Amino acid sequence: MKKNILLICGGGSTEHEISLISAEYIYENLKSNPDFNIFHVTIQKDGVRIDRDGLEVELRRAGEIVWKESGKSERLHFAVPCIHGPPGETGEIQAVFEMMGLPYLGCGPEASQICFNKITTKLWFNALEINNTPYIFLSENSAESVKKAQDFYDKNKSGFIKAARQGSSVGCYLVKEKSEIEQHLDNAFKLSEQVLMEVTVNARELEIAAYEYDGKIHVTIPGEISCPSKFYTYEEKYSNASHTTTEVVAPNLTSDQVKVMQNFARKAFTGLKLKHLSRIDFFLTDDGKIYLNEINTFPGMTPISMFPKMMEHNGHKFKDYLTQIITKNARS
């Protein structure tokens, strides 16, 4: 019997358009499989859900997709929540699938929520003894928080202010002058109830794909993001005018550096109870320090995204990976 696969994308976050591109890439990798029926659903920015033909649909608690106009329904066997940012990487949609009893690709609600919040991620890194950049966190936009951030800047001669619950560098502000701090905090608090400020480092940006395949956790060798501006903004990630380049294999790393990053990635994957896939990002500073920067529990899946490219370079075809995960986990 064919398996009915829900591929759901879009959502109301700032990463809506990138989610659509990732979903199209996943769709292209799944549609030729004769064992799958793919139901491609987009959550529009106003919350309306439509299928690939533009017909409005809804999801039912029993794990069904229903077409509102005709009343037709199909029982689903597996879901691929290809939604970058809320509600896809924040645990909400995973919790819905859990209540439906519908298996899905990716990390569970708790791991997703922890990793999407830059503050809780760092607290877990500390608990797992994984190196990360020095930081403070701020829970309210007040004169006291401004003073705390200014003191941090004076102590470290640098600072990066980040909205704690945003992705793709949205709400991230490099502090170039102390006088900028109050405005950057205002901007960050408009996007998140909590804000992180961390030390700015001169560093290479390296990425590792960690994923489950054939019953094992695979950790790739690091790839590299090279951003001329040294600030990997949303525009640098996704704009056609971007000057950022990527390399699937980061050059000029020592075997010890690779080993440290792979060990940290594996420790994070197992310690945080990640599932199926993640992209784990590192800083390698000019003086040789290695910091785990962040974990992306549903990384970009566009044709040029690093996660599928690193997986393929590691000897596993992305199409085969998706097929195995679905076949192994889909409900009967």
10-residue stretch averages of pLDDT, the chain, 332 residues long: 96 89 96 96 95 96 94 97 91 95 97 96 97 96 97 95 84 94 96 95 96 96 80 50 78 97 98 98 97 95 91 96 97 94
- Assign a CATH topology to domain 135-198: Dna Ligase; domain 1 (3.30.1490)
Give pLDDT, residue 234: 47
Q: DSSP letters along 48-75, please?
A: -EE-TTS-BEEEETTTEEEETTT--EEE
- Class in CATH terms, 3-105: alpha beta
The pLDDT of residue 320: 96
Residue boundaries of the structural domains of the chain: 3-105, 114-131+202-316, 135-198
Is the torsion defined by CA of 320, 322, 328, 332 positive or negative?
A: negative
pLDDT score recorded for residue 243: 52
Query: Does 3-105 match 135-198 in CATH topology?
Result: no
In 44-181, the DSSP E strands lie at: 49-50, 57-60, 64-67, 73-75, 78-82, 135-138, 160-163, 172-174
Report how far residue 280's alpha carbon sits from residue 299's, in angstroms, rounded to the nearest whole number: 9
CA dihedral sign of residues 41, 308, 261, 294: negative
d(CA 220, CA 209): 6
Strands 160-163 and 195-198: antiparallel
Residue type, position 263, single letter: N
Dihedral in degrees, nearest 10, Cα atoms 185, 293, 7, 35: 180
Contact 116, 295 (CB under 8 A): no
The CATH code for residues 114-131+202-316 is 3.30.470.20
**Residue 215 has what pLDDT?**
92
